[in-house]
Each structure stands twice: as structure tokens, then as C-alpha cells.
Structure 1
Amino acid sequence: MRFKKPKVTDIIFLIVVAVLIIPKTRKPIQVFVNKAVAAVISPSKIQEEKQEAISTYDWRLKDSQGKNFNFEQTKGKIVLVNFWATWCPPCIAEMPSLQELYNDYQDKIEFVFVSSEPFKDINSFIEKNKYNFKVYKPVSNYNEIFKVNGIPRTFLIDKKGKIVIDKTGAANWNSEKVRNTINELIQQ
């Protein structure tokens, strides 16, 4: 029995399959793919008549220093709430764009990054990636309007408490479209 000489495409296919099977290479590949997808996805504004309002701001969180934060403090402000995890490839993929947005808007809007992981893991991730935003862990249940079934899940809320953007999955939060939306909300 004679074997055919393998084609280059067959070899590449086998390498890709092998790389995806090996656990240590799977996550970086997923992050890379999600970054490519996120680069072209800019969250869209919800049509005004379909925007839901937050019914209550009663939600308690805690930062890595053990300081309590009541979401009530954000009432009347523009708020970006991001639910994420350090193990989540789409979350990791969108974090650089969120950091860039945070760098430019941290004193204009409130950023509330929420993760349920141990602060040991969160702080290690934040430090390793040189992010400088504060992360909170929930102490009480979040408002039902958030309906977080998957992460990353990000909400942009206006001063009146209406959800202007609601996006599940990786996205480019530093896009001109998002910045224009935030700038409009600031001017209102």
C-alpha cells in the first residue's frame, strides 16, 4: 500500500486541530479570535422607545480593599456597567477597548466593572494587564433589568436611568460610535 504525499493544506489543518485540542493554546486562540471579532463590532444604541429604565438602584458591591459601594451612588449619572471574568476569552478580548474608554472618560462617567471571582484572581489579572480601573464583587443581587445570562455583558445607562446600550459578547467599546453616544449623553 502506498501513501500519498500529504498536501500543505492537510498539514495546516492537522496543526490547527492539534493546537485547538491542547488546553494551553486554546484560550489564547479564543482570545485572538474574539479580539478580531470585537474589533469590527461596535455596540449600537437601543432605539429610544425600546430603552428600559432601571427600577431600583439598590445594589451593593465591594471593591478589592473591602470598601462598600452602593450602586445608588450612580443615580443621576451616566454609568457603564460591565459583567466579566478573568477566564472568559470574549471578556479578555474587549478589556483593552474598555481600558482606553476608561482612560478618557473616568471623570465624566461612572464605570462599574463587576466580577464574581475571588479578588486574588481579579487583582492578578488587572496587575498583569496593567489595567487601572476598579473592579467590584456583588454583595447583594443585581437589579433584575440587567438579566445577565452570559458574559461579557455591558450596559450604558443614561442620567435618567435608561439603558441606552445593552451588549452581550465582545465588542469594541472604544469605537467612535460609542464615544459619540457617550458624548451625546454628557451634553444632555
Structure 2
Amino acid sequence: MKKVTPYIFGILIIGLIAGIVFFKPIKFYTIKYTNRLFSENTVPVEKRKNETVEVFDWSLKEYGGDAVNFETFRGDVVLINFWATWCPPCIKEMPSLRDVYDSYGDRVRFLFVARDKEKNVTRFMDKKGYDLPVYFENGITPKLFYNPSLPTTFIIDREGKVVMAKSGEYNWNGADVRKLLDSLLSK
């Protein structure tokens, strides 16, 4: 009986790995709970302002595309918005984010990181007619950015310093955000 147990354990591990690789819902939930386990950050989002990004090795998957590493955005002004289609405050602030993206999209790197299933995001984007740069977490999120609450948004300057950090709904098309982005782009 003791010889059978390691084989069963091995089969379960192989089955889990195959499920993660070939069955997207398992991969989605594996990433979700791995992030909760390894990326939990008890510092309130608003207090993360003035922290510097230490980890640029963060794997993301472009909506309908390939994997991309956060390293490619180093040196850019970046706005990261974590959201989901099932999150009412996320949906409510999305028009203001779209307006800012429409104004600055070629000068600021926007990462709309969806904590949702791709089919739900596709349905939402099609219904609303949004053409935004959406990404999905494809690995462990850096602790600086992780927050289980949605929406959560960070603005990062060219040196990798967090200059604005908000959790909850916000008017991203306001004069304060535009003034901040203009000042960051002029440097």
C-alpha cells in the first residue's frame, strides 16, 4: 500500500500541472490565489506613494496577444489600473480612464490589468466599444502593486517612483491627474 501513495501523489501533481497549462479556468484561479499568497501587501494603497518600483520582472499577457514583461515599460510614465467586469466602481470609473487614455495614450503607457476571465473582458469591451490596452496577470504581481480590492490604480514616473496611488473609484479625467501627467511628461 505504501508504494501506491507516491504514484498517486505524482499523478495528482502531473494532472494539476496539465490542468494549469491546458485548462484556462484552473490557470486563472491558480494565478489569483498565488498572488494572494505571495504578493499580499498590508500597506494601504495610498501610503505606497513615493515608493520606488524594485521589481520590474512581472509577466503580463496582452489581451488577445502575447506575454509581455513589465520591464519593457521601464523609463516610461505608466498608469496601471487593476479592474474587473464584475466590479461596479471599476465600471463606473472606466469612462474617465478612457478619456485620459484617449488624451495621453501615445505618451503615457496605460496598463488596464483585468482580474477577470478573458471571455468576460471580451464581452465587456465589445459591449462598451472600448479599445484599451488590457493585460492579464501572468505570474506573481510585485508586492508594491498587489491589492485585493478593486479598482486600484498607480501612476509611476520615468524613474520608477509611484507618484499617485488610489484604491476605489476616482475621476481620472480630472484637472489634478492631467496636471500631474503633464508635469511628468515634461521632465
TM over 0.5: yes
Match runs of 1:17-166 below 5 Å: 51-166=50-165
Question: 3-state DSSP class of the match of 2:144?
Answer: helix
For 1:146 and 1:178, locate their aligned partners in 2 and report how far apart those are by CA, in whole Å: 19
Offset, 1:149? 2.6
Amino acid at match of 1:82: N
Offset, 1:101? 0.3
Identity %: 41
Offset, 1:68? 1.1
Deviation track 1:116-145 (CA, whole Å, cap 9, x = no partner) reads 311110011011111110211111111111
Question: 3-state DSSP class of the match of 1:178?
Answer: helix
Q: What TM-score results when the alignment is normalised by the length of structure 2?
A: 0.73
Offset, 1:64? 2.5
Amino acid at match of 2:107: K
Offset, 1:177? 0.7
Which deviates more, 161-170 or 55-64?
A: 55-64
Question: 3-state DSSP class of the match of 2:80?
Answer: strand
For 1:151 and 1:116, locate their aligned partners in 2 and report how far apart those are by CA, in whole Å: 9
For 1:147 and 1:62, locate their aligned partners in 2 and report how far apart those are by CA, in whole Å: 17
Unaligned 5+ runs, structure 1: 1-45
Which is greater in Rg?
1
For 1:61 and 1:168, locate their aligned partners in 2 and report how far apart those are by CA, in whole Å: 21
For 1:66 and 1:97, locate their aligned partners in 2 and report how far apart those are by CA, in whole Å: 25
Matched length: 142
Offset, 1:151? 0.5
Q: Please, what is the CA RMSD of the aligned residues?
A: 1.7
Offset, 1:66? 3.3
Q: 2:167 maps to what in 1? A: 168
Offset, 1:63? 1.8
Q: 1:40 maps to what in 2? A: none
For 1:183 and 1:149, locate their aligned partners in 2 and report how far apart those are by CA, in whole Å: 30
Q: Which structure 1 residue ranges, 4+ long, deviate > 2 Å from structure 2?
A: none
Deviation track 1:2-34 (CA, whole Å, cap 9, x = no partner) reads xxxxxxxxxxxxxxxxxxxxxxxxxxxxxxxxx
Amino acid at match of 1:108: R
Deviation track 1:101-127 (CA, whole Å, cap 9, x = no partner) reads 000101001000111311110011011
Q: What TM-score results when the alignment is normalised by the length of structure 1?
A: 0.72
Amino acid at match of 1:180: K
Question: 3-state DSSP class of the match of 1:146?
Answer: coil
Amino acid at match of 1:77: D
For 1:128 and 1:85, locate their aligned partners in 2 and report how far apart those are by CA, in whole Å: 15
Unaligned 5+ runs, structure 2: 1-45
For 1:116 and 1:178, locate their aligned partners in 2 and report how far apart those are by CA, in whole Å: 24
